[in-house]
Amino acid sequence: MPEPVLLVVAHGSRDPRHAATVHALVRRVRARRPGLRVETGFLDFNVPSVAGMLESLAAEGVRDVVALPLLLTRAFHAKSDIPAVLGEAPARLRIRQAEVLGPSPLLTAALERRLYEAGLSPADRSSTGIVLASAGSSDPEAIAVIADIAREWRRAGWCAVRPAFASAALPRTEEAVRDLRALGCARVAVAPYVLAPGFLPDRIARGAADADVLASVLGPAPEVCRLLLTRYDEACRPALAELGA
Confidence of residue 214 (pLDDT cuts 50, 70, 90): very high
Within this chain, do residues 155 and 194 fall inside the same structural domain, yes or no? yes
Within this chain, do residues 178 and 131 fall inside the same structural domain, yes or no? yes
Q: Tell me if residue 6 falls in helix, strand or coil.
A: strand
CA 122/CA 73 separation, integer angstroms: 27
Confidence of residue 74 (pLDDT cuts 50, 70, 90): confident
199: amino acid identity, one letter? F
Within this chain, do residues 240 and 139 fall inside the same structural domain, yes or no? no
Model confidence pLDDT, tens digit, residues 231-245: 999 999 976 555 453
Within this chain, do residues 20 and 67 fall inside the same structural domain, yes or no? yes
Per the confidence metrics, is the pTM higher than 0.85? yes
Model confidence pLDDT, tens digit, residues 104-141: 999 999 999 999 999 999 999 999 999 999 999 989 99
Within this chain, do residues 77 and 97 fall inside the same structural domain, yes or no? yes
Within this chain, do residues 97 and 112 fall inside the same structural domain, yes or no? no
CA 57/CA 189 separation, integer angstroms: 43
Model confidence pLDDT, tens digit, residues 8-28: 999 999 999 999 999 999 999
Within this chain, do residues 111 and 207 fall inside the same structural domain, yes or no? yes
Contact 65, 92 (CB under 8 A): no
CATH number for the domain that contains residue 127: 3.40.50.1400
Within this chain, do residues 201 and 117 fall inside the same structural domain, yes or no? yes
User: Left if phi > 0, otherwise alpha if psi is -120 to 50, otherwise beta: which for 168?
Assistant: left
**Axis crossing angle, helix 16-32 with helix 222-244, rounded to the nearest 10:** 60
Helix (DSSP H) and strand (DSSP E) numbers for the chain: 9, 8
φ/ψ of 154, rounded to 5, equals -55, -30
Within this chain, do residues 169 and 86 fall inside the same structural domain, yes or no? no
Structural domain of residue 229, as residue ranges?
5-102+221-244
Mean pLDDT of the chain: 95
pLDDT over 70 percentage in the chain: 97
Whether the per-residue pLDDT at 53 is higher than 90: the answer is yes
Within this chain, do residues 32 and 55 fall inside the same structural domain, yes or no? yes
CA 76/CA 137 separation, integer angstroms: 8
Q: What pLDDT score does 78 carry?
A: 83
